[in-house]
Amino acid sequence: MADTRTEEQRRRIMQAVGQKNTGPEIVVRKVLHRLGYRYRLHRKDLPGRPDIVFPAKKKVVMVHGCYWHGHGCRYGQPPKSRPDYWLPKLERNKQRDEENFQALESLGWKTLVVWQCETKDIEALEKALMRFLEDGRPNRSISGSKN
C-alpha cells in the first residue's frame, strides 16, 4: 500500500511527534504528583534518558508510545504502508529499549514501563505505580510483560 501523504507532508507530521512531555507522560506525572511522589525528569546521565526518575529509590518509569515502541495493543500495530522502511525502524526501537533496560538494571535501577494504552485506566495506573514504588517489584510494565 502506498503512502497517502506526500513526502513533505509525512516529514512535517513526523517532526511534530514529541519525545518529551507527551500526553501519556503528563498523565503519569499528574497521577504521581497527586499521590504525593516527587521525581526528576529526563535524566541525561542515565541510559535511555528515563522519562521519570526517583533517584532516592533508584527507580525509573518509562512512558512508551504503543506505536513507536511496538506494544501488542491496537495502538501498537505496524503501518501497512512502506513496511520495508517502518518495520526495521520500529524493531530497532524495541532493541534499543531492551539495551537501555539492561544497562539500567546493571547500574542497580529498577524499571517500569507504562504504555500509552495503560494511561486510560487511571485507577489501575495509580495502583501499579504505587505497587512499583512501594514494593519495588521490578516489572517492566503494568501488565507484567516485557513488551
Q: Where exactly are the structural domains of the chain?
A: 20-79+109-147
pTM value? 0.80
Of the candidate CATH numbers 3.10.290.10, 3.40.960.10, 3.40.50.460, 3.30.450.40, the domain formed by 20-79+109-147 belongs to: 3.40.960.10
Place 117 in a pLDDT band, splitting at 50, 70 and 90: very high
Q: What residue ranges in the chain does DSSP mark as E strands?
A: 40-41, 52-54, 59-64, 110-115
Of 2-16, 27-41, 54-68, minimum mean pLDDT range: 2-16
**Cβ count near 52 (within 10 Å):** 22
Place of cell 508510545: 65
